[in-house]
Structure 1
Amino acid sequence: MITKQALGSTLFGMADILRDKVEDYKAYILSLLFFKRLSDNYEWENENGIKEFVKENGREPSKKEKNIIIGKKHDFKIPEGCFWKDVRETTIDKKNEALHKAVTGIAEANIDKDGKFFLKGVINTVRWNEPAPDGSGGKKLSPEVISLLVSYLDAVDLSNKNATVDVLGDAYEYLIKRFADENKGGTTAGQFYTPQEVVDIIVRYLKPQKGNVAYDPTCGSGGFLISAAKYCKANYGNQKSIRLYGQEDVWNTWAIANINMILHGLDAKIEKGDTLLDPKFKEEDNELEIKKFDLVMANFPFSQENWWKNGEPKKDAKGKAVNKKDGAPQLEYPGKEDFSDPYERFIYGIPPYSNGDFAFIQHIIASLKQDGKAGVVCPQGVLFRGQPAKTEEEDGQNRKADDEYLIRRGLLQGPIDSNGEFTEMHNIIDAIVVLPGNLFYGTTIPGSILFINKNKPQHRKDKVLMIYAAKEGWYKEKPNMNELQPHDMLRISTILESWGDLEIAKEWIAIQKIRLWALIQEDLGYKLSEIEEHYHEDLERFKAKVDRAKKAIAAKEAEGKKPTKSELKNLETLNAVLEKILNQKADKIMAAHELAAKERKAIDEVESELISMLQDAELRKRYFSVVDMEELNENEYNLNIPRYVDTFEPEEEIDLKEAIKEIGEMLLNEKNSISKLSNILSIL
């Protein structure tokens, strides 16, 4: 059986072939991987089905029986002429056309009970036969490159015989992360990938239950949904004990999410479209009512401008478009008097058209059942943007409360009607985690996690847990992007789980330590395997060269001849190169082991840190706060963390007597230096 490390390395080797040849090369690799998996597994299922028949009946099946076996064995149909071998065996000048025909044929052959072509736009999202844009008559992706890709992947059997859904799915996710890491500064990475550490914190706090229905309205490649399924598999033994729904607006990302679900063996429903303008999941008996879910997890696009698509380019007096500093057109928006959302999602207020944060948050709330919960990644601005009303006596302006303030207050108190009266009183914000900046792909904007619970326990109904996880030392600073490490995840999840209760914290830490140690060990295994893969080819090549050089010298000596200086020098050089490669490999292996040991030690240190903190009332204030409604009201529902948690690092205490002594010595040294300088100058 192939390991996910080996498969991951193979897939990323294909990326080296495609780099600089096409723009979104991850789509090409993932689509080709999916096609190979379907084809390999189809043929394996046929062979396996026939073997089972022979075992049960003691004879080979007839042609008619074979057709029945084949018809029952497959989740996906592959027409004749559309298999991997058909593409592999095609002459090089016909590779593009053959690959296009194969994936198009499969897309058109698979229709569900509702008449929907459920693989269209998924397996055939890449245009393999696209002509070159220069009009030369060639192909955008040359047949030589396609032939190389096919040959590269052909060596790997992707059927169930050699690759389990866990291996396929994990290797696929590994590849998606590698693509995101390559494009950290670009916007596309943020469209399809959320750091796994953040996903893990959210999923573990929400705790998906057996039979739950989970939803991600901006699902990207499907990371939240996959993690929820894995949580259920770990806790209930079946990853299909939770139903999964997602929506994604970007075509290629939507295709990646669908492939991700299939490769993980999940029956998820991922729809394509703009979630705010065209939500796809609605109640069966009412097309204008948003479907309700037990859990919603999301990382929506931060501060999306023109989310209702009603902005028009602003023009100056001469009719010329007015641009922003970045060159993008400045937009003007209509008033909100005539705004109408057919799905009635914005019960807390209509967000500014120029910023979609509260539009996504209200869509998520509308998508929750009465006892539903959500974990939402959002920019920190949602915690404090917007101003409350002020009378003329208070600020001399007689200012009205703005929309974002009213929406945030509504989440804490309840929605109001057109007369400003509360239609119901409730607080649905459960907890807030403020994260460090530069943690998410494609943006340096500091993020936060907003946990929503429509049915909070009685003792927490008027309280909000606030955690400051942007503290220095609570994350790893890296040149291009910050990162949460296993012990950082433990610190955040323990405070979330315990709400300050020491005994609950101790129980949680004991369980999570085992899990995190296992993750560290798994990651170590992955790194060691990568190191092995990286050096394998070079080591084998130079070992062979050394062996040949030794044999040549030995053969001469056997004949009573002396090897030449050139031959001896060549062997010495080859041995030196081989030793250098072996030392480099050993250094990397040692570094990987040292990092794993350091991470395990850090987990133990965080355990001690948390236990000490939870026993010290003053120290707790620097980590988190459980804030009641009275304090929130006093702060005019501003949820900016520094109002509730002591985010300032304590100044280092100094010994005044020692400091005075040091200053005295410095002054004396300065006086002596001036005296010496004066003497030198007087001589001159």
Structure 2
Amino acid sequence: MITKQALGSTLFGMADILRDKVEDYKSYILSLLFFKRLSDNYTWESENGIKEFVKDNKREPNDREKEIILRRKHDFTIPDGCFWGDVRNAPLDKKNDALNKAVNAIADSNTSLKGVINTVRWNEPSPDGSGGKKLHPEVLSPLINYLDAVDLSNRNASVDILGDAYEYLIKRFADENRNGTTAGQFYTPQEVVDIIVRYLKPQKGSTLYDPTCGSGGFLINAAKYIKKTTGTQKNIRLFGQEDVWNTWAIANINMILHGLDAAIKKGDTLKDPKFTEEDNDLTIKTFDLVMANFPFSQENWWKNGEPKRDKKGKPITNKDGSPQLNYPGKEDFNDPYERFDYGIPPFSNGDFAFLQHIVASMNESGKAGVVCPQGVLFRGQPQKTEEEDGQNRKADDEYLIRRGFLQGPVNKDGEFVHAINIIDAIVVLPGNLFYGTTIPGSILLFNKNKPEERKNKVLMVYAAKEGWYKEESNMNTLLPQDILRISTILESWGDMEIAKAWITSQKSRLRDLIQEELDFKKGEIDLDTQEDIELAKDKHQKAGELVKAKEAEGKKPTQAQLNNLQKAKETLEKLIKQKEQRIADAEGQAEKERIAIDEVETELLTMLADPELRKRYFSVVDMEELEENEFNLNIPRYVDTFEPEEEIDLKEAIEGFESAMDYEAKITSFISSMKQSLGM
């Protein structure tokens, strides 16, 4: 069986062939991978089914029996002439057309694969009008040959290996484009996904929905969680919607490669939500759990903005060249799906539109975990009268929506329809943690059926403290010990006994993750260095054989031969030493993380026992305090986010100061005496 590292390395090697040849080359690689998987597995399933028949019946199946075997064994249909081998064997000038024909024929034969396997137009004409192909056959051919060497059937690549390699590739693509806008469209850091999934704890039979699912990270992680806790990933039903066509196709492929039966639909979630009730397509379908990382602060989310124009009628643009927009009033706005019970968000920012869609998608006891910009915690102002502060200001829509989440929706007269606080907890995260944006993010955790003791409380967790994440030049990351710190506070709400039990259960899990990551890195190092070391060994062996051959003839080796032998030896030793150092560095990092987990355990238990220390980590805030703060959820209002200054020994500081002053006086006296002796 192929390893995840080997398959991942092969797939990313394909990127080197395609890079700078086409835009969004990840779609080309992932689509080609999927086609080969279907083809390889179809052939393997056929062979395996016939072998099982022969074993059971002691004879070969006849044509009718063979037809039944093949029909039962295959999840997907592949028409004759549309297999991987047919494309591989096509002449160079026909290869693009053969591939395009094959994937389109498969899409036509399998309704669920339409737009998925054929999302790439392999025979698309070159935009320069030359009559050639956009992806030149001399690029496509080595790409096919590169992947051809790998058997992607179940015989060599299990669902787990294939799925993990696919996720690895998606992360590598995101890392490559971490500062670009597309990376954030399809990938959410696994550490953040893990925190949300483990707080919401999917149960057997749960329905889970992601309205902006990207490549499907939340859905995959939840399926893995349910498999670990119940024994099979089939104990959860998965639903997702994605608006970007290529990303939607990637998500569908991701589900299939992981062996998941998930409904992933294409469309704009706010304008055209695809999951509605069967008996009323204007009623939003509700779910047990919702998880999402929606596009931060999406402008013109209802697509009703009109470009601003100057006196000459020319569009007015922003610094980045995008048009400035005017939006209509809200008097005539109507959401046909009736999702905005808490207020109509500003058309210039979609954060509260997505949040209200998510809330509308939760059933009566539903929960949600949502990644969003920190601005949703404090944007918007309450109503103010002239008596209060000399002005007459209406409450902002964003303020009213946030207050509604905490107190309940209101009717047109401003009266509460019913009082309910659905915000369960808030986690403030460090900046530069998400792909495509440096904006500091947060996690909002909703619950429509909060326990009685928490109904009028909100847990505030400050996870952006210096040292609680790994700072890197391009992007910050959460380490296992950081996940432990955040998840323990979320799980325990400050209860020491719950915290102890949680830490015990999570330590072993996180240690396993550290070991898995270490094993993966060591496997990558082996693959990265194998070819160079083998070449160096071969060179060293040949140089040694030349020297031995001379000595066997009773002759003295030439100086050049001895120099070549020495150089080959040094090169080999250097490569081996570099590999050993890389492995040692990886093992050292893993050991640091293991130690850090133990240190965080001690830190957390010490903190929970000390009321003053607690204030620097989290706060359980009641409704009275929230009202006093006018429902502003900015974390410094509730948690002490200021770093305490390091304590110093005053006596020691004074002695040091006096010593420095004495030294300065001596130097001044010495300089004066030197000036006198020189007559200055």
TM-score grouping bracket, smaller chain normalisation: over 0.9
- Residues in 2 aligned to 1:470 and 1:651: alpha-carbon distance in whole angstroms: 18
Structure 1 match to 2:564 = 570
- Deviation string 1:179-232 (CA, Å, 9 cap, x unpaired) is 101111111100000000000000000000000000000000000000000000
Question: Quick one: distance in 1 between partners of 2:539 and 2:472?
Answer: 40
Measure the CA separation in 1 of the matches of 2:649 and 2:554: 82
AA in 1 matched with 2:370: V
Selected match of 1:501 from 495, 501, 515? 495
Query: Secondary structure of the equivalent of 2:368?
Result: strand
Q: CA deviation at 1:65?
A: 1.4
* Deviation string, structure 1 residues 56-87 (Cα, Å, up to 9, x no partner): 11100112211121122110000011000001
Q: Which amino acid aligns with 1:518?
A: D
User: What is the DSSP-based 3-state SS (H/G/I as helix, E as strand, rest coil) of the residue aligned with 2:546?
Assistant: helix
Q: Distance in 2 between matches of 1:458 and 1:392?
A: 39
One-letter amino acid matched to 1:129: N
Amino acid at match of 1:608: T
Give 1:334's aligned amino acid. P
Task: State the Cα distance separating 1:554 from its structure 2 match.
Answer: 2.2
2:308 pairs with 1:314: yes
* Aligned match for 1:207, one of 201, 205, 228: 201
Counterpart residue number, 2:382: 388
Q: Give 1:627's aligned amino acid.
A: V
Is 1:198 matched with 2:198?
Answer: no
Pairing 1:107–2:107 present: yes
Unaligned runs of 5+ in 1: 111-116
Q: Distance in 1 between matches of 2:651 and 2:510?
A: 47
CA distance in 2, matches of 1:473, 1:553: 57
**1:325, CA displacement in angstroms?**
2.1
Query: Offset at 1:660?
Result: 2.6
Q: What SS is found at the alignment partner of 1:638?
A: coil
Work out whether 1:667 is the aligned partner of 2:661. Answer: yes
Residue aligned with 2:144, SS: helix
Q: Distance in 1 between matches of 2:53 and 2:391?
A: 85
1:36 matched to 2:36:
yes
Query: Which whole-Å CA distance do the structure 2 matches of 1:651 and 1:541 have between them?
Result: 56
Matches within 5 A, 1:98-497: 98-110=98-110, 117-497=111-491
Query: Greater CA deviation, 250-259 or 654-663?
Result: 654-663
Output the amino acid matched with 1:228: A
Q: Deviations over 1:294-316 (max 9, x none)?
A: 00000000000000000000112
Q: What's the counterpart of residue 525 of structure 1? A: 519
Q: Separation in 2 of the partners of 1:281 and 1:224?
A: 17
SS of corresponding position for 1:199: helix
- The AA in structure 2 aligned to 1:361 is L
Amino acid corresponding to residue 651 of structure 1 in structure 2: E
CA drift of 1:133 comes to: 1.4
* Structure 1 residue 576, shift from structure 2 partner: 1.1
Q: Structure 1 residue 18 and structure 2 residue 18: aligned?
A: yes
- Residue matched to 1:53: 53
Query: Which secondary structure state, in structure 2, belongs to the residue aligned with residue 289 of structure 1?
Result: strand
Shift of 1:162: 0.9
CA distance, structure 2, for counterparts of residue 45 and residue 405 of structure 1: 58
Greater mean alpha carbon deviation, residues 670-679 or residues 224-233: 670-679
Counterpart residue number, 1:591: 585
CA distance in 1 between partners of 2:49 and 2:359 (Å): 47
Q: CA deviation at 1:679?
A: 3.6
Q: CA deviation at 1:664?
A: 2.5
Instruction: Please list the CA deviations of residues 119-175 of structure 1 after superposition, one character each: whole Å capped at 9, or x if unmatched.
Output: 121111111111211122222111121111111111111111111100000000000
* Partner secondary structure for residue 284 of structure 2: coil
Q: Choose which of 534, 537, 543 in structure 2 pairs with 1:540.
A: 534
Q: CA separation in 2, counterparts of 1:107 and 1:478?
A: 43
Give the distance between the partners of 2:69 and 2:604, measured in 1 at CA. Answer: 59
Query: What do the CA deviations read for 1:397-426 (whole angstroms, capped 9, x no partner)?
Result: 111111000000000000011111000000
1:509-538 deviation line (CA, Å, top 9, x unaligned) = 001000000000000000000000001111
**Alignment-derived partner of residue 614 in structure 2:** 620
> Helix, strand or coil: the match of 1:646?
coil
Q: CA deviation at 1:638?
A: 0.4
**1:546: Cα distance to partner?**
1.6
1:645 aligns with 2:639: yes
User: Structure 1 counterpart of 2:94, which letter?
Assistant: K
Please list the CA deviations of residues 360-389 of structure 1 after superposition, one character each: whole Å capped at 9, or x if unmatched. 000000000000000000000000000001
> 1:30-59 CA deviation, whole Å, 9 max, x = no partner?
001000000000000000110111111110
Aligned to 1:378, the other structure's residue is in SS state strand
- Letter of the aligned partner of 2:650 in structure 1? L
TM-score for both structures, normalised by structure 1: 0.98
Q: What is the CA distance between 1:263 and its match in structure 2?
A: 0.1
Residue type at the aligned position of 1:52: E
What whole-Å deviation, never above 9, does each CA across 1:603-657 have from its counterpart, x for those lacking one?
0000000000000010000000000001001101000000000000111222323
In structure 2, C-alpha distance between the alignment counterparts of 1:385 and 1:174, rounded to whole Å: 37
- TM superposition outliers: structure 1 runs of 4+ over 6 Å: none
Give the deviation of 1:267 after TM superposition.
Answer: 0.4
Q: Find the residue that maps to 1:118 and give its secondary structure.
A: helix
Per-residue CA distance 1:451-498 (angstroms, 9 max, x = gap):
000000000000000000000010000000000000000000000000
Counterpart CA distance in 1 for 2:410 and 2:189 is: 37
More divergent stretch after superposition (563-572 vs 423-432): 563-572
The count of aligned residue pairs is: 678
Given the alignment of the two structures, is residue 636 of structure 1 paired with residue 630 of structure 2, yes or no? yes
Q: Which moved more, 1:94-103 or 1:672-681?
A: 672-681
Deviation at 1:539, TM superposition (A): 1.1
d(CA) in 1 for partners of 2:262, 2:215: 12
For residues 656 and 494 of structure 1, the distance between their equivalents in structure 2, rounded to whole angstroms, comes to 37
Identity, % of aligned pairs?
74
1:565 offset after TM fit, Å?
1.8
- In structure 2, distance between residues paired with 1:376 and 1:299: 6
Supply the AA of the counterpart residue of 2:200. Answer: L
1:90-131 Cα deviation digits (max 9, x unpaired): 122211111111111111111xxxxxx221211111111112
Q: Aligned AA for 2:660?
A: M
Alpha-carbon offset, residue 555 of structure 1: 2.5
- In the TM superposition, what is the alpha-carbon distance from 1:572 to its structure 2 partner? 1.3
**Which amino acid counterpart does residue 39 of structure 2 have in structure 1?**
S
Deviations 1:238-265 (A, max 9, x none): 0111000000000110000000000000
Q: CA deviation at 1:659?
A: 2.4
Name the residue aligned to 1:114.
none
> 1:427 aligns to what SS in structure 2?
coil
Tell me which of 549, 557, 563 is aligned to 2:551. Answer: 557
Residue of structure 2 equivalent to 1:113: none
CA distance in 1: counterparts of 2:98 and 2:311, whole angstroms = 57
